[in-house]
Amino acid sequence: MNAPATTAHLQPQTTPRPVPQAMLDALAARFGAQYSAAQAVCEQHGRDEGSLQAPPPAAVVFAESTQDVQDAVRLAAQYGVPVIPYGAGSSLEGHLLAVQGGISIDMGRMNRVLSVDADDLTVTVQPGITRKQLNEAIKDTGLFFPIDPGADASIGGMAATRASGTNAVRYGTMRENVLALEVV
């Protein structure tokens, strides 16, 4: 007789690396109000919609520009600290969990449409804009962004996970809808 199938609740096996206090101090000095090490903020940025559990990041930087992202990544590289980008927190994959410790860079304030070229059928956006924000911003152009993963995910997060959804058969996944990326 075969035993019934079971589903195990898996946990990451790594121990998070501590973030040096000198780095936290440098982040606080550089980012001021755009930085938080508050437990509630870190815990919010340390989970997604999936079932995996991990300790929260040591701190969160709320990026407002590419320069902010560059500066946070440079500091993390200097101290050998992992960096976890955070969009809307709607993913299921666990990629925004701080399984090895580190800091979270929240892209939610980078949520603007930078340009729309309706004739070329292109739009340039910051990574924190959500699909609903984008569609609201371009609705008067006659265009729409077809990727719908079932959550109001950020465009940066959708690009990171190759999001798809119910319209993928007709319009493709993020892979077919992203023409270029600026990557730090």
Structural domain spans, the chain? 21-106, 113-177
Interatomic CA distance for residues 61 and 126, integer angstroms: 16
CA-CA distances (angstroms) from residue 136 to 47, 66, 125, 139, 177? 28, 24, 13, 5, 18
Rounded CA separation 106/11 (Å): 24
- Write down the pLDDT at residue 14: 62
- 21-106: CATH topology: 3.30.43
Single pTM value for the model: 0.86
Query: Which pLDDT band holds residue 52 (cuts at 50, 70, 90)?
Result: confident
| CA distance readout (Å), 82 to 48, 78, 98 | 18, 11, 8
In terms of Cβ atoms closer than 10 Å to its own Cβ (0-12, 13-18, 19+), residue 59 is buried
Q: From 103, 97, 85, select the one nearest 153 (Cα to Cα).
A: 85
pLDDT of 131 reads: 93
- Residues 54/46, Cβ–Cβ less than 8 Å: yes
pLDDT computed for residue 91 by the predictor? 83
Q: What pLDDT is recorded for position 166?
A: 87
Lowest mean pLDDT of 27-31, 88-92, 175-179, name the range.
88-92
Structure tokens that stand for 162 in this block = 């190759």
Across residues 99-114, what is the average pLDDT? 96
Q: What residue has token string 């924000």?
A: 133
Q: pLDDT per residue over 21-40, tens digit each?
A: 999 999 999 999 999 999 99
Inter-residue contact 72 to 79 (CB < 8 Å): no
Q: What is the pLDDT of residues 40-51, one digit of tens each?
A: 999 999 988 888
